[in-house]
Structure 1
Amino acid sequence: MAKPPSTGRVRLKDVATAAGVSPITVSRAFSSPHQLHPQTCQHVLEVAHAMGYLARPRQPSEPFVSTRRRVIGVLNPQLDNPFFHELTCLIGRLGETRHMDVLTMDSCNSPEQEKAAIDRLIACGVDGIILTFIASGTREQTACLERLARAGIAVVLLDREIEGPHHGGVYIDNLDCGYQAGCWMRRQPVERLLILSGPPDSRVTIGRVSGIREALAGSAISLEVHYGDFSMAPTERFLNERLGQLPLPDALIGINNQITLGILSAYRQARLPLPEHAGGPRLFCIDGITHAELLGMEISSIRHDLATMATQAMDLIEDALQSGSRRGTRQVVRGHLHLPSDAEQALP
């Protein structure tokens, strides 16, 4: 049976070499076992256990003793969203510099897949998880946090705040994001503003819409709010109907980047002038659309310091593993206003 290397640190590539497979196969055995032949998956997991790469979950009363390379799970709700994709990439790079292996999983905005992913991470014996739950807090999510606590796994929340035991969290200042968006819109020559938002019970929705309302209080702008979903397709479906009704809005705010992409797609399908084009409505995007300026899209937005968010999340995980206590803090990161002129000024 394979043995750990003489250094005592077992890495993912060490398991791959011992098992006679590629590193990506080892990663898939942990994160996407359904993509492998059952015998291959079983072989990889047996080798990993024998080498000490996977250990039993640490109990809450036990101090963390580093006898191997730490394993951190990252679970987010939508990996094809550039916001979460970039955050995950940044965490992965930080993991390498801090001698941690990072296992990435995607819940695909599905409560069932979210629960299954957490089950797999527990089974893998990860030391900690950086966790972004799907949009709305539920009793099931609180129960997941309690189960992770019983397993002795350190949990740091990222972007979505949920009640339950954890070791701190890193969140966006959603109220301020909405307030900045509302202040920008108030300065524009608009009369009818449509906000395309997420679920009404989401803390992200509540914070951002409340900030917009606060900024527009006392203005002459009429406000229409649609509560939907944080993804692109539902926004398209709603606007496909709404754009057939008069009066049309002369300004829109997409509460996140996926919603804003849905706005642009719906206007294109309706053969109406695109937002921020001649004859089209004003448009503001909270979260920003990555590299939109390279495609000729001049969209004012709120952008976030993702590098700071990733660093703070990793700092909280490391502190939790070293201390074994729940002294994690609540870190809040403020978004910054990005205007098309900013991109122009940055060009040589």
Structure 2
Amino acid sequence: MEPPSPSTRVRLKDVARAAGVSTITVSRAFSAPEQLHPQTRQRVLDAAQAMGYVARQRPTGEENRRPVIGVINPQLDNPFFHDLACAFSQQGEARRMDVLIMDSHDSAAQEEAAVDRLIACGVDGIILTVISADRRYRPPYFERLEKAGIAVILVDREVTAPHYGGVYIDNLDCGYQAGMWMREQPVERLLILSGPPDSLVTIGRVSGIREAMAGSRITLEVNYGDFSMTPAEQFLEKRLDQPPLPDALIGINNQITLGILAAYRRAGLPLPGQPGGPRLFCIDGIACAELLGMDMPSIRHDLKTMATQAMDLVEDALRSGSRRGSRQVVRGHLHLPGETA
């Protein structure tokens, strides 16, 4: 059999595709075999032999390149996801990995386009926060990622699609902490502004609040809407025309809480925390709120820990080539006004 011509020579990425692994895994099979699981390395070697691939004897740029990880966020203008993206970037530098940050703008079409661009770039792994918090959400690009052998790590939102592990917030605990704080306050009517009713985030946080409120005399009212600011503001503008008004509110995330503040300001009513205003609790927290004189009780999350755990899962997936990634849960902590951390 004649050796392949330069135009048809088998490349590193061809072997990776055939073996169902990343290009960096193929490279390590020849340059650093001790870093791979023996079964993974043998699968690569078998594919390489069948295709006639010959590893170059001297290291070149392709074999020595840094692993490339794509990060797709649903809303980079949301401080939560912006800060999380910064944490991923810092983790990448510390681990000598290149990190590409992309924004899906809460659009299914742009999310799919971002995935396809990262596949075309030949990334080794993708850290993904999908646009939907519905566990049943499963866009077709997951099959393309699986076929390309790209390790997918889910963050914040969990779906039943092929992936190598995930890092999630303990939403039930977030709601429970918020509810327990509110239960100790002198309030009678609590309004919860939440996200979609079928969202796992909504279900967890609202369930936690209800659990904490069990047996109390506080009247609960829940509005199911959207996780963004404008719908919350629009709903609350109408609700503030219908007495009796709530004397306490919980915003299920930071964007909803901003909508609450905007609605009260537009209505000309005392803002939460001001004399005559309602009590307000924000799950997720609002970045730098204390600098604006709006420090409020909230649940804050250790984004550095979330980024570290997600990158650990990526590295494990690239090293082992297996789907043994775990489901890791991060617990938020209660922040009270006046605290510095």
Please report the TM-score for the alignment, with normalisation by the length of structure 1: 0.81
1:113 to 110, 114, 122: 110
Check whether the contact 1:169–1:313 (CA below 8 A) recurs between aligned residues. Answer: yes
The offset of 1:147, in angstroms, is 2.2
Distance 1:192 1:140, change over 3 A: closer
Distance 1:56 1:304, change over 3 A: farther
1:235 matched to 2:232:
yes
- Output aligned runs, 1:278-297, within 5 Å: 278-297=275-294
1:123 matched to 2:120:
yes
Paired residue secondary structure (1:156): strand
> What is the aligned partner in structure 2 of residue 98 from structure 1?
95
Write out per-residue CA displacement over residues 206-251 of structure 1, whole angstroms, 9 at most, x where no aligned residue: 0000000000011111111011111111111111111111111100
Distance 1:185 1:57, change over 3 A: farther
- Mapped partners of 2:329, 2:280: distance in 1: 26
Q: Any gaps of 5 or more consecutive residues in structure 2? A: 1-10, 29-62
> What is the aligned partner in structure 2 of residue 83 from structure 1?
80
Letter in 1 for 2:338: S
59-68 or 195-204, larger mean C-alpha shift: 59-68
Check whether the contact 2:136–2:159 (CA below 8 A) recurs between aligned residues. Answer: no
Write out per-residue CA displacement over residues 95-150 of structure 1, whole angstroms, 9 at most, x where no aligned residue: 11211111111111111111111111111111100000013337663533232111
The offset of 1:55, in angstroms, is 5.2
65-74 or 300-309, larger mean C-alpha shift: 65-74
2:220 to 196, 220, 223: 223
- Report which of the two structures shows the higher radius of gyration computed on alpha carbons: 2
- Mapped partners of 1:129, 1:57: distance in 2: 20
Check whether the contact 1:142–1:163 (CA below 8 A) recurs between aligned residues. Answer: no
Paired residue secondary structure (1:224): strand
Check whether the contact 1:176–1:211 (CA below 8 A) recurs between aligned residues. Answer: yes
Write out per-residue CA displacement over residues 257-279 of structure 1, whole angstroms, 9 at most, x where no aligned residue: 11101100110011000011110
1:69 matched to 2:70:
no
Check whether the contact 2:133–2:201 (CA below 8 A) recurs between aligned residues. Answer: no
Please report the TM-score for the alignment, with normalisation by the length of structure 2: 0.82
- Mapped partners of 1:124, 1:208: distance in 2: 37
Identity %, equivalent residues:
72
Alignment size in residue pairs: 292
1:326 matched to 2:326:
no
Check whether the contact 1:57–1:122 (CA below 8 A) recurs between aligned residues. Answer: no
Distance 1:285 1:139, change over 3 A: closer
- Output aligned runs, 1:178-257, within 5 Å: 178-257=175-254
The offset of 1:254, in angstroms, is 0.3
Paired residue secondary structure (1:205): helix
- Mapped partners of 2:93, 2:275: distance in 1: 47
Alignment RMSD: 1.8
1:270 matched to 2:267:
yes
274-283 or 57-66, larger mean C-alpha shift: 57-66
- Mapped partners of 2:21, 2:167: distance in 1: 26
- Mapped partners of 2:136, 2:327: distance in 1: 21
Check whether the contact 1:240–1:270 (CA below 8 A) recurs between aligned residues. Answer: yes
Write out per-residue CA displacement over residues 32-87 of structure 1, whole angstroms, 9 at most, x where no aligned residue: xxxxxxxxxxxxxxxxxxxx9x9569435347135221111000100011110001
- Output aligned runs, 1:163-174, within 5 Å: 163-174=160-171
